[in-house]
């Protein structure tokens, strides 16, 4: 098999850990696989370098920032190649440029446009271990670019796709995706398999492990991902397409998102296009609206409730207040003491009663549901934040996720 | 004018110093010059990275070592470009690759083969300040290489030559070349001008400032060098071709080399080719022989005296002892308690009596001269190490270098 193994910053945090990574890669090679390694910078290094670039004033030239930031991964990649060579393997490090990772021009948050695989393929054909500096590429002009937060995961997934790898293993300091946050519900179990779509919906559970950008790319490129720990030999969680999951669980996990705020608009003027105006203005201000509920008032006006991330609440308030001044909204209230609990599972598509069980569980616990939103594989409820843990534990128990 | 300014590791040792460098470059640009800056890594950074590469075992893969080491200069170059942009200048950093610096394949000690100047020229034509990562280039295969010790100076001189710069300023923590070491002779004066050949002969005075490799390259490319301090505004020392120096001083400086050992061979067998055999064997063992004296003994055998660097004495001893075992050398003695004092000056070419004055000065001080060697612009004497300072001071005084 061709396996891509990606090691994050904590996994290559010092020289001893780089040696441990070399040992793990060596084991995979000795088991008969061809390995392409993708590495991040040593933990702390990127933050240090970001600090350097910000020392001279605000908004440093982004192309220059990329030149600085891209150096951390180069160092780790070459050090790991050195360690592997010392163990008797043939290993070569490659920068994003050498690996043929071509991006657009958006310095510090570039998108991978294509991968020219000749150099990687030639090295792999010579039975070399490739060690690729993650997080970086070059634009058409040949200038180095970086991919933004979680960029090394994107590098790994994109390389796995381009090289038609059988598997892309993402090594971090956690050992997989759990049915819910084990700090809230100690009986939470590690999932063996999960579909891309479930993973995307469970983002709040997996955010520490994998960003949605990487899961979306894996889905698009049909790359099977495994997230596992670089500090243990435990099997991780396979993230793959739904067809690869034989036994489809009704509910895979319970996600909790505490980073939401609720905005309630009362007496919204009843004219065509008002919703488009409000949410258009929010979009222009880069506010990400999540759930939206609209109800009609008795006087012909409209109530609208929606949620936004807490750190975008200030921007959202400004937009809402501009409509209040125009008298198009009568009153607005803002509530940060809420949270969103979601039940996720591909099995819901073909089963009824999943949502009903969620609502009855909340009722049993006397938890008031403020907003509801559903999709094919998800039921989300907005509740008072103080019930967050209770709701998660009750739902985890109701769907028997500890079994 | 087009001016190349090279700043070493201590000059860019932290973010405040990088800002100081930016201020100095800015001043030069505002005076109407086009500036190409060449930078080293922050002081300490390269040593740290070398340590990393040596952690996993001996003789790490050199191509990978270059990948690691080349990162330090990239960071400094981009940070300086950021600082200059923040001051309102247009500045772009360039790696060795982007600057078109093509080297041979000798990783960790590559030689510059040529410089493809198009990208640098285009940026300069747009009135940009170029900030080039020193110490590095790429080989024909596109792999990054480094130039070995003093490599950033070589980058600067080579770029100055290729870009037909009017001046190449080397900024360090010392403010120029002195008539002798001021720690030995406090009346030592800073030289305004000196020829390439004198600089090469005065290597021991200039070693902290400039390596001979860089001076040789400057001579070959006819690049006028200035060494000066990045921590003061004092004028430095211009190193240029002899024709540019109107008033040729009889003696420019007194150099002292304490790092020599003397090997005296007695009763060397008298057969054709013996000298070639001995010095050939020393060369094979990478021993750099400096001065050689040969005299005939009364019995038809030969005495040979020569000097080698102290840190090569062990290797030299091994070679000499192999000849002793073959009975081709009767006896050998090794003396580390010597030093070499040299008087250097282009004016010697057209003046007589310079050497005689050196010998009489030694005689006046009762210092025994063990070996003498002369060239067109130099007189060197090997003496007992304990007289080193006395000899330097007497000669400095005899040639009136404090005037």
CB contact under 8 A, A74 and B93: no
Which chain A residues contact residue B129 at CB under 8 A? none
User: Computed from CA positions of residues A8, A12, A18, A20, in that sequence, does the dihedral angle turn out positive or negative?
Assistant: negative
Q: B82 and A53: CB-CB below 8 Å?
A: yes
Domain membership of residue A258 (yes or no) is: yes
- On the question of pLDDT at A109 being above 70, the answer is yes
How sure is the predictor about B212, in pLDDT bands with cuts at 50, 70 and 90?
confident
pLDDT given for residue B86 in this prediction: 97
In tens, the pLDDT along A294-328 reads: 888 767 778 999 999 999 999 999 999 999 999 99
Q: For residue B116, which residues of chain A lie inside 8 Å, CB to CB?
A: none
The beta-carbon neighbor of A82 closest among B53, B77, B83 is B53
Is the Cβ pair A81, B74 closer than 8 Å? no
Does B116 fall in a domain? yes
Structure token pair of residue B4: 């190349």
**Residues A256, A136: one domain?**
no
Chain B interface, mutation test: which of A15, A16, A55, A145, most B Cβ atoms within 10 Å?
A55
Using CA atoms, how far apart are residues B18 and B86, in angstroms rounded to an integer? 13
B79 contacts A53? CB cut-off 8 A: yes
Least confident of A89-98, A237-246, B218-227: A237-246
**Contacts (Cβ under 8 Å, ≥6 apart) of A331:** A265, A266, A267, A324
**Residue B162 sits in which domain range?**
2-172
Phi-psi region of A165 (alpha: psi -120 to 50; beta: other; left: phi over 0): beta
Tokens, residue A93: 């490090």
Question: Which residue in B15, B64, B77 is closest to A81 by CB distance?
Answer: B64
Q: Which helix (H) or strand (E) holds A136?
A: strand A136-138
- Chain A residues in contact with B78 by the CB 8 A cut-off are 53, 64-65, 67-68
Query: Any residues with CB less than 8 A from the CB of B116 and at least 6 apart, and which?
Result: B100, B102
**Whether residue B299 has pLDDT greater than 80:** no
DSSP labels, B299-355: TS-EEEEEEEEGGGHHHHHHHHHHHHHTTSEEEEEEE-SEEEEEEE-GGGGG-SSHH
Contacts (Cβ under 8 Å, ≥6 apart) of B253: B177, B178, B179, B180, B191, B194, B198, B202, B205, B344, B345, B401
- In a domain, residue B81? The reply is yes
Q: Is B1 on the interface with A (CB under 8 A)?
A: no
Judge whether residue A247 has pLDDT over 90.
no
CA distance A75 to A42: 9
Same domain (yes/no): A162, A257: no
Domain assignment present for B161? yes
Model pLDDT, residue A207 = 55
Most confident range (mean pLDDT) of A23-27, A371-375, B369-373 is A23-27
| A17 vs B contacts (CB less than 8 Å) | none
Phi first, then psi, for residue B141 (nearest 5°) are: -80, -5
Residue A373 burial (10 A CB sphere; 0-12, 13-18, 19+): middle
pTM: 0.86
Q: How far apart are CA A147 and CA A39, in angstroms?
A: 14
Rounded (5°) CA angle B329-B332-B338: 145
- The CATH number covering residue A12 comes to 3.40.1160.10
Shortest CA distance from B18: residue in chain A: A56
ipTM: 0.84
In a domain, A52, yes or no: yes
Confidence of residue B244 (pLDDT cuts 50, 70, 90): confident
- Does B21 contact chain A (CB < 8 Å)? no
| Residue (of B83, B109, B372) closest to A57 by Cα position | B83
* Best mutation target, B52, B53, B73, to test chain A (most A CBs within 10 A): B52
Mean per-residue pLDDT, A123-142:
97
CB contact under 8 Å between B64 and A98, yes or no, is no
- Final residue before a domain boundary, out of A173, A208, A228: A173
Which candidate, B72, B78, B24, places its Cα nearest to that of B47? B72
Task: For residues A138 and A263, state if they share a domain.
Answer: no
Instruction: List beta partners, residue A266.
Output: A331
B55, B75, B143: residue with CB nearest A71? B75
In our burial notation (b when 16+ CB lie closer than 10 A, e otherwise), range A276-288 reads eebbebbeeeebe
On whether both A67 and A152 belong to a single domain, the answer is yes
Crossing angle, helix A71-86 and helix B62-69, to 10 degrees? Answer: 160
Taking alpha carbons only, the member of A292, A190, A70, A202 closest to residue B75 is A70
Asked whether residue A166 falls in the same domain as residue A257, the answer is no
Within its chain, how far is the Cα of B147 from the centroid?
A: 14
Task: Give the span between the Cα atoms of A395 and A95, in whole angstroms.
Answer: 46
Buried b (16+ CB within 10 A) or exposed e, B63-76: bbbbbbbbbbbbbb
**Among chain B residues, CA nearest to A56:** B83
Asked whether residue A92 is assigned to any structural domain, the reply reads yes
List of chain B residues whose C-beta atoms are within 8 Å of the C-beta of residue A86: 56-57, 60
Domain membership flag for residue A186? no
Residues 6+ apart with CB under 8 A from B276: none
Question: Is the minimum CB–CB distance between B81 and chain A shorter than 8 Å?
Answer: yes
User: At B5, phi and psi to the nearest 5?
Assistant: -120, 120
Count of domains forming chain A: 2
Phi-psi region of B108 (alpha: psi -120 to 50; beta: other; left: phi over 0): left
The pLDDT tens digits for B302-326 are: 899 999 999 999 999 999 999 999 9
Among B41, B51, B75, the residue to mutate for chain A (most A Cβ within 10 A): B75
Residue B203: predicted pLDDT: 76
Q: Is A32 found in the same domain as A135?
A: yes
A60: contact with B, CB 8 A cutoff: yes
Question: What does the pLDDT look like over B166-199, one tens digit per residue?
Answer: 999 999 888 899 999 889 999 999 999 999 999 9
pLDDT at B207: 55
Q: For chain A, how big is the Rg over CA atoms in Å?
A: 24
SS3 B61: coil
pLDDT of B246 over the 80 cut: no
Structure tokens at B14: 């932290």
CATH number, residue A328 = 3.30.2130.10
Q: What six digits make up the tokens of B330?
A: 């009767």
For the segment B79-91, the average pLDDT, to the nearest whole number, is 98
Q: For residue B55, which residues of chain A lie inside 8 Å, CB to CB?
A: 15, 79
pLDDT at B206: 56
* Structure tokens that stand for A349 in this block: 């598509």
pLDDT for residue B77: 98
Element (H, E) at A394: helix A388-398
Strands A101-103 and A112-115: antiparallel
Q: Are residues A159 and A14 in the same domain?
A: yes
Nearest-angstrom CA–CA distance, B134 and B105: 17
Is B64 in CB contact (< 8 Å) with chain A?
A: yes
Cα–Cα distance between A208 and B363 in angstroms, integer?
Answer: 80
**Residue of A42, A46, A75 to mutate, interface with B, max B Cβ within 10 Å:** A75
Structure tokens given for A212: 């949605």
Q: Single out the residue in A141, A173, A205 at which a domain terminates.
A: A173
Per the CB < 8 Å rule, is A64 touching B82?
yes
Interface check B75 vs A, CB under 8 A: yes
Q: Which residue has the tokens 């969103």?
A: A340
Residues A12, A16, A19, A25: what is their CA dihedral angle, to the nearest 10 degrees? -50
* pLDDT single digits (tens) A182-221: 899 999 999 999 999 999 988 766 556 788 889 999 999 9
Closest residue in chain B to residue A95, using alpha carbons only: B67
**A67 and B49 in contact by Cβ < 8 A?**
no
Q: Look at residues A146, A173, A200 and tell me which one is the last residue of a structural domain.
A: A173
- Residue A110 falls inside a structural domain: yes
CA-nearest residue to A71 within chain B is B71
Inter-chain contact A98–B52, Cβ cutoff 8 Å?
no
- Residues paired with residue A268 on neighbouring β-strands, in sequence order: A302, A329
The predicted pLDDT at position B208 comes to: 65
Which alpha helices (H) appear in A31-125, and where do they start and end?
45-53, 62-69, 71-86, 118-125
| DSSP symbols for B232-254 | S----EEEE-GGG-SS--S--EE
- Among candidates B61, B64, B79 on the partner chain, residue whose Cβ is nearest the Cβ of A52: B79
Both tokens of A276, joined, read: 């488009």
Give one DSSP letter per residue of A228-296, joined into a string: EETTS----EEEE-GGG-SS--S--EEEEE--EEEEEEEEE---TTHHHHHHHHHHHTT-----EEEEE
Confidence band, pLDDT 50/70/90 cuts, at residue B350: confident
């Amino acid at each position: 098999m061709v396996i891509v193994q990606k090691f994050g910053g904590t996994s290559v945090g010092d020289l001893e850990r780089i040696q441990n990574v070399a040992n793990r890669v060596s084991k995979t090679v000795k088991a008969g696989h061809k390995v392409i390694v993708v590495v991040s910078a040593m933990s702390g290094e990127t933050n240090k370098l970001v600090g350097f670039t910000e020392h001279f004033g605000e908004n440093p030239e982004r192309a220059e920032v990329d030149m600085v930031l891209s150096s951390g991964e180069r160092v780790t990649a070459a050090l790991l190649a050195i360690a592997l060579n010392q163990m008797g393997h043939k290993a070569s490090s490659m920068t994003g440029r050498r690996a043929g990772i071509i991006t657009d021009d958006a310095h510090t948050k570039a998108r991978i446009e294509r991968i020219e695989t000749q150099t990687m393929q030639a090295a792999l054909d010579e039975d070399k271990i490739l060690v690729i500096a993650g997080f970086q590429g070059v634009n058409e002009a040949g200038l180095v670019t970086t991919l933004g937060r979680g960029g090394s995961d994107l590098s790994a997934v994109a390389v796995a796709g381009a090289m038609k790898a059988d598997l892309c293993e993402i090594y971090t300091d956690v050992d997989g995706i759990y049915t819910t946050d084990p700090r809230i519900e100690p009986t939470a179990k590690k999932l063996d398999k999960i579909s891309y779509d479930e993973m995307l919906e469970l983002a709040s559970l997996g955010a520490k492990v994998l960003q949605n950008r990487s899961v979306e790319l894996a889905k698009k490129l049909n790359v099977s991902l495994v997230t596992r720990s670089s500090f243990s030999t435990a099997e991780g969680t396979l993230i793959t397409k739904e067809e690869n999951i034989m036994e489809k669980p009704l509910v895979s996990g319970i996600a909790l998102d505490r980073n939401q705020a609720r905005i309630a608009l009362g007496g919204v003027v009843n004219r065509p296009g008002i919703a488009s105006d409000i949410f258009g203005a929010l979009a222009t201000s880069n506010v990400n609206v999540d759930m939206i509920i609209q109800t009609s008032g008795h006087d012909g006006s409209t109530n609208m409730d929606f949620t936004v991330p807490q750190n975008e609440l200030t921007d959202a308030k400004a937009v809402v207040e501009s409509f209040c001044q125009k008298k198009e909204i009568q009153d607005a209230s803002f509530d940060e003491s809420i949270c969103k609990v979601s039940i996720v599972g591909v099995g819901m598509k073909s089963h009824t009663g999943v949502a009903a069980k969620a609502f009855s569980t909340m009722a049993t616990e006397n938890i008031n549901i403020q907003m509801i939103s559903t999709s094919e594989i998800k039921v989300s409820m907005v509740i008072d934040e103080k019930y967050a843990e209770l709701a998660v534990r009750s739902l985890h128990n109701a769907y028997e996720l500890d079994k």
